[in-house]
Structures are given as C-alpha cells and as structure tokens.
Amino acid sequence: MRFVGHDIPELSLTEIMQETVLATIVFLHFRLAKMDESMRYCNILVGGFFLTMLIRELDALFDLISHGSWVWFALITALLALIRPVMHFRATLEQLAKYTQSPWYGILLSGLLAVLVFSRLFGMQVLWHDILEHGYMRVVKNAVEEGSESFGYMLCLAASLGYYVTFHTHARQKQSLRAA
C-alpha cells in the first residue's frame, strides 16, 4: 500500500486487527486507571506497556517520519508510563501483587508469552528452513508467526476485558450495597 508517496508493506487485515486489539487493551487499562483509584498505578503500567507494544506494531507508520523512529516514541511512552507508578512505588507494588491474584493475570501472562516468546521462536527462518528444506515458503512462516501473535493478543484482550467487566461488577455491587 502507498501512503503519502511511501510504501507501507506491513498493512494487512491481520496487522490492522492486531493494532485494533492493542488499542482496545490500552483504552481499557487507561480507563480503569482513571476509574479505579485502588488499582490506578498498576493499570497505568499495564496500559503503558501495551501502548509501547502498539507503537512497535505501528513501526511501518513511524518509518514515514524516519526509519526506526518508533523506538523513540516507545521509549518516551514507557518513561511517561513509569513516572506516577514510580512516584508511588509502594502503592504500585501492592497493586501489582493484587493484580497477580486475579484470574485474568494468568491469561494475560499466557498471551504475552505467546506474543513475545512463542511467535518469535516459531517465526525464526532457520527453523522453517530446517523443517521444510527446499520446500521453504516464507508465507508459511509468516502465517504461523502472525497467527500465534494474533492468538496471544486475543488472550491479552480477553484478560483485559475480563478484568474490566470484573471491576464494573464489583463497582455495581458496592453501589447497590450503599443504596440499601
């Protein structure tokens, strides 16, 4: 695809879906950070982490500015996401410990492992050259890599949605108890 006179090779339905999923995860956690003071710093960290991942996924778009410029945007985002949680270090640690007790934490962690480890291992060209030898086709490697990456992102989305719904359920219960 061409955009403002530049080719953008990483534009596919899969990439758009992954970026949309990441944007949704970021939105959910930043919304929770605003709504839930008791888990604010944890959600800022999680939202900032996924925003950094989104910036990385959008690297082709940032290459229109300058090749590799996504790194600077990701670093700035990571630093900004760390400011308040670091300023409230003890509260942040308590919130992170509480988050690890949530059933959604395991699902989120599984999704991150699928994206950051599994998809990278299964995306190694040397692996596919050894398996397929002379029948190597890059499209097979890409399909497996992008498929496992998408699976991981969907797990992260499911965990984030579950956590968001759980928060709303607890908030409604507290509200109805106060009204009674």
The pLDDT assigned to 19 comes to: 97
pLDDT score, position 10: 59
User: What's the pLDDT score for residue 9?
Assistant: 54
Question: Alpha-carbon distance 39 to 91, whole Å?
Answer: 9
Residue 7 pLDDT: 46
pLDDT number for residue 55 = 97
Task: Give CA–CA dist 122/106, Å, rounded.
Answer: 22
* C-alpha span between 180 and 33 (Å, rounded): 28
pLDDT tens digits, 135-144: 777 777 788 8
Q: What is the pLDDT of residue 53?
A: 98
Say if residues 58 and 19 touch (Cβ distance below 8 Å).
yes
Listed as ranges, residues in the chain with pLDDT below 70 are 1-10, 180
pLDDT of res. 3: 45
Structure confidence by residue, pLDDT tens digits, 113-133: 999 999 888 878 887 777 777
Query: Mapping DSSP to helix (H, G, I), strand (E, B) and coil, where does residue 63 land?
Result: coil
The secondary structure of 97-147 as a DSSP string is HHHHTSHHHHHHHHHHHIIIIIHHHHT-HHHHHHHHGGG--HHHHHHHHHH
- Per-residue model confidence (pLDDT) at position 70: 94
The pTM score is 0.87
